[in-house]
Amino acid sequence: AMQGERRPPYSVRRESPAGNMILCFEGRIVTASQGNVALLSTILIVLVTGLFFGLSGPFVGERLGAGVLVLGALLSFFSLGFLLCAATSDPGVLPPATAWEGDHYLQGKAAYCDTVPPPKLWDVEVNGTKMQLKFCFTCHMFRPPRCSHCSICDVCVDGFDHHCPWVGNCVGARNYRYFFLFVVSVCAACVYFFSFALYHLIKSAREQDKSFGQGLGDHPSAIAVMVISFLTFWMVGGLSGLHIMLAASAITTNESFKHGQGYQSPYHLGSAWRNILVALLGPRRPSLVRNHMRSSLTNTLSV
């Protein structure tokens, strides 16, 4: 709970509901305008999946059973599904205020503020920990706890973790679970594809009475799958471990960079497992951007 003499005008910001972000279907889809790398992530997953199941899958399935292939298909499905959810979900963009609120606040006439110009900091208390809310001069509001302004998307995001080009979106309070599960799913898929592509090479060489080196030239697709899987795991594996530790500590990436080691989060629930469960399965706040667009549409139709 936050305590203070006056309540800061959280909702006062400029007209644009989502800065540089792209909104579709009345805010049901919210994504960053730079989605080229996210498209590359999708292509890599589809490419590795297609190479493995098209060329190595029949060999592996014939010798180890269809269950092994079902597992690989599920890992690819989850990787693509969580990528799509992270890339298209509202990360927690804060809603705009009306033009009247913004104009009056900037003129120092808001009922919440006694000074001109407005103060840059607002002292609050969160679960017994004192925190300072900073004023965002781009969005014209005090940012709530754990909120930060993304310079790429040009919005303030609640529970801001980081801007991730690999999913083409900000990662915040509303889509962090999807990002977390995407990273973990990709790591598991990399281990799967590397292991069974290697099994294909070794088993095929033995059945043909060849050495491992002699059999490499017979299956270039398996080698390609192993190389892509290894490089991807090398990049994503550490990221996955980092976010497991951060989620267990109830700390965002942004907070870890700002406060460094030893930071004790006021949102810690007393148990690492409980922190992770809440991060992945806890209730999500409604999309404030979607609510804003609905109210704007209603006001337009009523005029």
R_g of the chain, CA atoms, integer Å: 24
In one-letter notation, the amino acid at residue 26 is E
DSSP bridge partners of 125: 130
- Using DSSP bridges, classify how beta strands 155-157 and 148-150 pair: parallel, antiparallel or unpaired: antiparallel
Q: How far is CA 59 from the centre of its chain?
A: 36
User: Does residue 164 have an active-site annotation?
Assistant: yes
Question: Cβ-count burial of 55 within 10 angstroms (0-12 exposed, 13-18 middle, 19+ buried)?
Answer: middle
In one-letter notation, the amino acid at residue 254 is N
Q: 43: which 2 tokens?
A: 């292509």
Any idea what DSSP says for residue 282? S
Determine the Cα–Cα distance for residues 58 and 82; give it in Å rounded to an integer.
Answer: 27
Strands (E), 137-268: 141-142, 148-150, 155-157, 162-164, 169-171
State yes or no: cis peptide before 286, omega within 30 of 0: no
Q: 187: which 2 tokens?
A: 């790591």
* Selected catalytic residue, list 164, 170, 187, 190: 164
Catalytic residues: 164
